[in-house]
A = this chain, B = another copy of it.
Amino acid sequence: MKKIEYSELKQTVSKIFAKIHCFSKESNAIAEILSEADLRGITSHGVARVPRYINHIKTGIIEINKDPETILETPVSLVIDGNNGIGQYIATKSLEKTIEKAKTTGICLTTIRNSNHYGIAGYYAEKCAHENMIGISMTNTAPLVVPTFGKNMLLGTNPIAVAFPTQGKYPILIDMATSVVPRGKLEVHARNDQDIPLGWATDENGLPSDKPKNILNNMLKKSGGGLLPLGGEGEKYSGHKGFGLGLMVELFTSCLSMGHFSFETYRQKGGITHFFAAIDLNIFGNAEEIKSHTEELVKTIKQSELSQGSERIYIHGEKEYEKREAYLKNGIPLEETVYKNMIQYL
C-alpha cells in the first residue's frame, strides 16, 4: 500500500487528463470526483478508473471539449444531452443548473442522455444536501445484471443515491448499486482464488455459481450469466425487488431522457444516462425543524440494541465519512498497482 495526500492525488489526476488535452474544467471534474471516491474508501470508483477513462477517450467512446446541451426546460425540469462528453463534467454542469433551478422553484428533476461514467452517484446527491435540498442521483451503466429468471446481462448495476440534509457536517447518504454486489467483489475473490457466496452471480446457464473466474470470463464474453439483482436469485429472497429497483433506475435515466438502455451502452459511444433530483427541504416546512426531527430518528436507530456479535449500527454514509476524515489527516492508502497504472500516464 502506498499513501498519498488527497490534494496530491487530485493534482496528479488533473495533470494526467490535461496531458491528453482535456480542458481544465474537464480534468478538474474528473480529478475531483475520482479522488473523492478514494478519499471515502470507495476504491472501485476511484483513480483505479484512470486507465479505463483514458482508453475511452483514445477510442472516442468519450469525447473531449463537449458541453451539456439543454434540450428541454420547464420551471421544474431539464432534459440534457451530454454530447458524449466527459461524464464527471457533463454531470457536474447539469447538476449545477438543477440546483440553481431548484433554488427558484423548490424542485428540479433532470434527465441526461449521451453522457459517460460519472463516478460515484452519491457525490452529486450530496451536493444538493449542502444546499438544504434532498438530492437524488441515479445512472445506468454497462449491462452487468441479469433480470430475475433471465440469463443475460441487460441491466446496469444502476445505482441509486439519496442524500438527506442533517444538522451535522455530512448528510445521510444512501448510495447503492441495485445488484447484490459490484463486479469488483468478484474480481477480488478471483484474484485471491476464493469462491464467492452462492447468490451473488450466475453462470452460463443462468444458475447461481460460486466460481468467480468462470463467471467473470462469461461476463466478458457475454456468454450467459452475470451479477444478480439485490435479493439474489429468483424470488426466495425477493430478487425481483432488486430487479425492480434496477428497472426503476432505467426508467428515470434511459427512458425519460430518450437515451440508450444499459444493454445499448458502450457501442460506438458510452451512451450513459443519468437522473438528478434536487428538492428544497423548505417546500415542506422549516428546514431546520425537519433536520432536527430527523436527528431523533437517526439517534434512536444508532443507539438501539445490537444483535449478538455486532459492534455498531451505521447510518448510511457514516462509514465513508469517517474514512474521509481519517484519510484527509493521514493520507489515502492506494494499492501499488493502482498507483503505477495511473502514473504511467503522467
Contacts and interface: CB of A to CB of B under 8 A. Distances in A.
A99 interface: no
B240 A314 contact: yes
Given A172-B251, A238-B176, A247-B172, A284 B257 contact: yes
Interface stretch (A3-11, A14-22, A48-56, A105-113): A105-113
A85 interface: no
A250 B297 contact: yes
29 contacts: A76-B76, A76-B105, A76-B106, A79-B284, A109-B279, A109-B283, A147-B301, A149-B313, A149-B314, A151-B305, A151-B308, A154-B300, A154-B301, A162-B251, A174-B247, A176-B244, A180-B237, A199-B237, A200-B237, A205-B308, A206-B307, A206-B310, A230-B231, A243-B316, A255-B290, A256-B290, A258-B290, A258-B293, A261-B297
Nearest to A236: B197
Interface string A47-87: 00000000000000000000000011011110100000000
Given A106-B76, A293-B258, A150 B283 contact: no
B72 A285 contact: yes
A250 B290 CA distance: 12
Contacts of A76: 76, 105-107, 283
Contact of A289 (B75, B258, B305, B307): B258
Interface string A174-197: 101000110000000000000001
Contacts of A77: 106-107, 283-284
B205 A307 contact: yes
A305 B148 contact: no
Given A152-B305, A176-B238, A250-B297, 18 more contacts: A76-B76, A77-B284, A147-B304, A149-B306, A149-B311, A149-B313, A150-B301, A150-B307, A162-B251, A176-B241, A180-B231, A180-B237, A202-B307, A206-B305, A240-B314, A247-B316, A255-B293, A258-B285
Contacts of A307: 146, 149-151, 202, 205-207
A94 B72 CA distance: 30
Contacts of A261: 296-297, 300
A305 B224 contact: yes
Interface of A: 71-72, 74-77, 79, 105-107, 109, 111, 134, 146-152, 154, 162, 164, 172, 174, 176, 180-181, 197, 199-200, 202, 205-207, 224, 230-232, 236-238, 240-245, 247-248, 250-251, 254-258, 261, 263, 279, 281, 283-285, 289-290, 293-294, 296-297, 300-301, 304-316
A200 B224 CA distance: 29
A206 B311 CA distance: 13
B238 A230 contact: yes
Contacts of A312: 149
A147 B297 CA distance: 12
Contacts of A74: 106, 283
B263 A305 contact: no
Contact of A242 (B230, B263, B293, B311): B230
Contacts of A106: 74-77
A106 B172 CA distance: 28
A308 B204 CA distance: 9
Contact of A151 (B71, B111, B244, B304): B304
